[in-house]
Structure 1
Amino acid sequence: MFCFHRLGLRAAAALIVGLGIATSARAEFPDRPIQFVSPYAAGGANDFLTRLMAQHMGDELKTTIVVDNRAGANGVVGASFVAKAQPDGYTVLMGNSATHGTNPTLYPDVTYDPVKDFAPIGMVGSVPIVLAVNAKLNVRTVAELIAYGKANPSKLSYGSSGIGGTGHLAGEAFNAAAGLDMVHVPYKGDAPAAADAMGGQVSMAFVGVASAASMLQSGKIRILAVASPKRSSSLPDVPTLEEAGFKGLYFAQWYALFTRAGTPAATIEKLNGALKLALARSDVKKAMASQGADAAYTTPAALNTFYRSEVKRFGEIIHRLNIKATN
């Protein structure tokens, strides 16, 4: 009896240890630091928003979130890295209108599938594209700009953040809709494009609202329109392109969080919940506004519907206007 009793105790102890190991293996997310990947170099809007979300979502999740800048090929390098990560929610991408909008069409050999390889977490925010002209053109409305362009063929040029970027697509769509023949000049970012519009090296620029608005006080640049369904909170007196007669010309640099496809739904729900709380903070909204971004929280399902529609919409525009990454 004594030996049987001892064996029973040992078996019970082994069972408890085994249950402990199993429970530990199923530890609740997150039980270690999370990696947020920004697919661009430090200093830009994507990097800013990545670090902002990492800080505040980390607070909500009570864990450390480390930012990893993996720049290259217009976001392809960073997105591809996350597309090959473990599906556990510990590697998250700050995707955008390039990585999950234009790139799949612009780069036929892109090394990831924006739909099959990713699980959407939620939208973070968006920065509307604006039409900013050099003040020396002496045009104050979109109609006056078009009249000037038709009276001075081949004299207008516009800058953007680069070939295939949201500003480029906005410029080409406007060019076609207005019947103009503006020359596109690509830059490595919105800031240099806006600066050259201000300096007169190009006639105008299609750039994010923050880059242009920061130069308004110089008096050398004028913002004629914003390419969004409604007026920007940063520029309430500036009309939309739709108000100027161009319906449907909506272009924004949007930003959203994604993780690897196959990540457990409960993990995505926790990440989305932390995102929702972070975006509801007044200090976060203020920080985003400094970059011209409006907070735009969504559920994973809503983001899934939105970005799939953007892949289709941008793809159609790129094909229709014959935009090539090698231009």
Structure 2
Amino acid sequence: MKLSFLARAASMAALALMAATAGAQPAYPDKPLRIMVGASPGGGTDILARVLADKFAPVLKQPVTVENRPGASNTIAGELTARAAADGTTLLLATNTAQAVAPHILKLKYDPLKDLQPIGLVAVMPNVLVVSASSPYKSVKDLVAAMGAKPGGFKYASSGIGSTQHVGGEAFNLATGMKSIHVPYKGSSQAHIDIIGGEVDMMFDSTSSAMGQIKAGKFRALAVSAPQRSPELPDVPTLAEQGIKGADVSTWYGLYVTAGTPRPAVERLNAELVRTLKLADVQTRIKALGGEPGTLTGEAFAAMNRQEFDHYGQLVRDANIKAE
């Protein structure tokens, strides 16, 4: 009986210790969060990241800051997130540029599919072919005719090597049989300056990034690079409507966290993302940028990321896109 009593006492003491230890563990999150962005301030990725930060902070009861690390096709921010502590405090708002295109072009020091944990799809935006408002080109037909008359004499801007703008430009070259020269920048906002100034001729930018310049009358939109017209640009025809097929490229935005982050933190972030994307003002903001809010679960988004990785790998090979 004595041994039995001692055994029971030891067991109860162990359970009490475990309960005390579990109760002492801080709830997530217990410190400030940051959202890494691989583009310059003012671009589409930056805009969406700041929307998420504003909505996350009051609910998570922690400051949420946006940290811009442009360059290397958005992969600098991706690598920093992949190498961060797996505690759920370093998030990444990435696009298919870094997650699906750049890995086929650049030598990365991390694996986007293994070193980053998908939280969910934030938004999908069609790309749009834009020129300066002062450009003489009023349609894709005008542009292609001018390109044919001056082979190799046209330049298109992008937010970096391996970006969806880069892929869109090369897909356009491939579909039209023309050749325009790629001019990469560290983010769309820097490229916009040279588009407006006439230093480069055109750009296949995401609507989220270009919409402000279009509405301000500084860009002329010639075509939407998607199967359907954008509700925000109803008068702008698609590339296919203008006889250019096989060149559609859209930009999607996804939220990620460092691989190995505890499951409760991943589930909390997914729940907050789902909640945020259902807010009327957030949906209005995304649609005003020409996009659609994401509706995929974390698992479905991870599967989509893998499919997009394979799709863009094939496109990179078909268009012979290489680091410059």
The two structures have a TM-score, normalised by structure 2, of 0.84
Matched-pair contact (CA < 8 Å) for 1:226–1:238: yes
Given candidates 265, 268, 279, the residue that maps to 2:266 is: 268
In the other structure, the counterpart of 1:52 is 51
Aligned-residue offset at 1:315: 2.1
| Alpha-carbon distance in structure 2 between the residues aligned to 1:47 and 1:154 | 33
Relative to structure 1, the CA distance from residue 45 to residue 88 in structure 2 (aligned partners, 3 Å threshold; closer, same or farther) is: same
In the other structure, the counterpart of 2:250 is 252
| Alpha-carbon distance in structure 2 between the residues aligned to 1:114 and 1:289 | 28
SS at match of 1:214: helix
Q: Which moved more, 1:158-167 or 1:59-68?
A: 59-68
Q: Does 1:21 align with 2:17?
A: no
Letter in 2 for 1:95: A
For structure 2, list consecutive stretches of 5 or more residues without a partner in the other structure: none
Q: Which runs of 4+ in 1 moved over 6 A?
A: 7-13
SS at match of 2:241: coil
Relative to structure 1, the CA distance from residue 144 to residue 274 in structure 2 (aligned partners, 3 Å threshold; closer, same or farther) is: same
Aligned-residue offset at 1:172: 1.1
In the other structure, the counterpart of 2:158 is 160
| Alpha-carbon distance in structure 2 between the residues aligned to 1:65 and 1:212 | 26
Aligned-residue offset at 1:231: 1.7
Letter in 2 for 1:262: G
Given candidates 313, 316, 323, the residue that maps to 1:315 is: 313
In the other structure, the counterpart of 2:101 is 102
In the other structure, the counterpart of 2:175 is 177
| Alpha-carbon distance in structure 1 between the residues aligned to 2:134 and 2:40 | 34
Relative to structure 1, the CA distance from residue 306 to residue 250 in structure 2 (aligned partners, 3 Å threshold; closer, same or farther) is: farther
Matched-pair contact (CA < 8 Å) for 1:76–1:111: no
Aligned-residue offset at 1:307: 1.4
Aligned-residue offset at 1:145: 2.6
For structure 1, list consecutive stretches of 5 or more residues without a partner in the other structure: none
Letter in 1 for 2:299: A
Q: Which moved more, 1:220-229 or 1:162-171?
A: 220-229
In the other structure, the counterpart of 1:30 is 29
Q: Which moved more, 1:118-127 or 1:218-227?
A: 218-227
SS at match of 2:242: coil
SS at match of 1:128: strand
Aligned-residue offset at 1:293: 4.5
Letter in 1 for 2:45: N
Aligned-residue offset at 1:29: 3.5
Which residues of 2 match residues 1-327 of structure 1 at below 5 A?
14-15=13-14, 17-24=16-23, 28-108=27-107, 110-134=108-132, 138-216=136-214, 221-289=219-287, 291-325=289-323, 327=324
Aligned-residue offset at 1:270: 2.2
Matched-pair contact (CA < 8 Å) for 1:194–1:211: no
The two structures have a TM-score, normalised by structure 1, of 0.83
Relative to structure 1, the CA distance from residue 189 to residue 31 in structure 2 (aligned partners, 3 Å threshold; closer, same or farther) is: closer
Aligned-residue offset at 1:32: 4.2
Aligned-residue offset at 1:120: 0.9
Aligned-residue offset at 1:132: 1.5
Matched-pair contact (CA < 8 Å) for 2:79–2:110: yes
| Alpha-carbon distance in structure 1 between the residues aligned to 2:42 and 2:195 | 21
Matched-pair contact (CA < 8 Å) for 2:43–2:208: no
Corresponding residue pairs, total: 322
